[in-house]
Structures are given as C-alpha cells and as structure tokens.
Amino acid sequence: MKSCIQGLFVILLAFASASVIADTPERVLWDKRPISVHLQVGHERIIHFPDDVRYWLPDTVKRHVSVLAANGVLYIRAMESFPTTRIRIQGLNDQQVYLLDITASEVAAVSDELIVMTKKNTRNRSKEVTAYKTTEDWRIRLTRYAAQQLYAPERLVVGDSAIKRIPVESKTSVLLIRGGLIEAVPIASWQANTTPRGLTVTAVRVRNLSRQSVQLQFDRSDSLQVLDLSYLMRGDWLTATLQHDRLGAMGDETDTTTLYLVSNRSFVESLSLPIDSRVLQSGQTGKEEMQDG
C-alpha cells in the first residue's frame, strides 16, 4: 500500500466542524442546460429553487407523477417508471425559466433533496472562478467542492457545472482501513463531467471505534495513538484528504470526521476488494478484518 500512494496529496481543510449527514442534498448550478433529475418510483424528491415557481407537465407524464409547488419548493413523486421527459419550471418573481429532464425507475436517487442554484444566488465570483478553473489541479478542485457541499454554510456554497453528483455504490461499512479500529462508510460521490472524465471524489465518513483518541496521518510513527493511513488504507487513490486529523474516543462528539478520496475509477473499483469482501456484514469483527489482509 505504501508504494501505491507515493506522492499522496494531503490537504487539511479549514471548514468549520460539523456532523455530516449521509443523505446530503444534491446541488446543481443552473447554466441554461437542462438539469437531469432522477426519481425513484414511490419516493418523493424535494427540489429547491431560488424563487417561488410554477410548473408545466407534458401530457405524456401527467398520469405518472404527482407534483406540488409551494414556497419555492417542488415536491415530485413518481408513481411508475417512465423515460426521460422534459418539464418546464418558471420563477414567479424573476420569470427565470428552468428545464428539468426527469426520469423514473426503481433505482434510488443520489439524495432526497436537490437544490437548484443560480450564479446570482451563489455570489458573483465569475472572474475568480474562471481563474480557478484554468489553474487549479482537478484533484484539489473536486476535494474542495465535496467539502463545500458537506460542510460550508448555504450562503457560501458555490455551484460548479463541470462537476456532477453520482450515486454512492455502497452506503454501509467498507473494508477501507485495516485493523478494525476505524469504521469507514462512503456517504457521497462527485465526478468531473468534463475533462478529465472519470475523475471521482468520494467522501467517506470515518469513525473511531476504540476507547482512546487517535491521530490520523500519512507517515510512520511509533506512537500507539497514531494510525499511519499510508500503510493501513486499502485501495488505489490519487489523493487522500482528511477533514480533521484527530479523532476522539468512541462516543465522543469528535469521534467522526470525513476522508476525501480522489480516484480515476469508481470508489468500489478503486478499493480493489473481492466482491464478497467489499461490504462489512453486521456482526463481522475487527479480527476478521485483520485476517482479510
């Protein structure tokens, strides 16, 4: 593992500490291109707009969905599967028109809530964003974007039309960190939808399962309270970034943080575990994890 992560890019982010909710809202920047909205049959999605809105449904989809608009929020539920259909939304005050390409199937949506943002309601930073896009390393860009989505106050969240949220392949514990002391649960993934295509960042909630605080780092240490992730972490990652590098003892409010992993492939593919070992089943012990290698 040590050789696999030579040059591991580690950034300690300075956003305020907060508990990460696994089902965080999906955020999309309206850039005049239709927004893709996936609906899971029988499950309601809540879509937030910057203004009170009204909507128009094509006749082909009216019998397949129930929709309610109230206070700038669209509540939409699919009763049965249907192919991609375009619907029109309009702001009542600013007259802004939004286009949604909705589709419904049995597959789960990436989150229950979707927040539609405009450049106006995400602050005017066009010059700053332009310079940022041309000079910033994509690994840093994806990591910062993921951290903003999870931690930043709503007023400071900046959309990025070049990054899209994608479904997490597993939302249960995975065998990411050897030793059984740290629980790892993927909670959200984002992917660059422009060059370089396929580059993915996955936010992983890591929780201390031991009765003493631990320091997480990417260097060897003789201290029993220091975990060297460059040795203990499985997988093939381009960068690994910790939100916080110290975890309190299990049960303490500081026993959990977020690890951002950037890879060229999906999270599960990059984790490189046998199919039957990718997910920790309930009742599996730390000793069994050690035997997995």
Quote the pLDDT of residue 16: 33
> Per residue in 101-111, pLDDT tens?
999 999 888 88
Task: In whole angstroms, give the CA distance from residue 83 to residue 145.
Answer: 30
Beta strands in 109-250 (DSSP E): 113-117, 163-166, 182-192, 200-208, 214-217, 226-228, 239-242, 246-247
Cβ–Cβ < 8 Å for 178, 234? yes
Domains defined along the chain, listed by start: 3-21+167-292 (no CATH), 31-117 (2.60.40.1510)
Quote the pLDDT of residue 273: 65
Low-confidence ranges of the chain (pLDDT < 70): 1-23, 120-136, 153-158, 195-196, 273-293
Q: What phi-psi label fits residue 177: left (phi over 0), alpha (psi between -120 and 50 degrees) or beta?
A: beta
Q: Among candidates 237, 239, 238, 211, which has minimal Cα distance to 225?
A: 211
In single-letter form, the type of residue at position 2 comes to K
* Angle 238-242-244 from CA coordinates, rounded to 5°: 175
> Per residue in 18-74, pLDDT tens?
333 335 778 888 888 999 999 999 998 999 988 888 899 998 998 899 998 887 888
Quote the pLDDT of residue 50: 85
pTM: 0.54
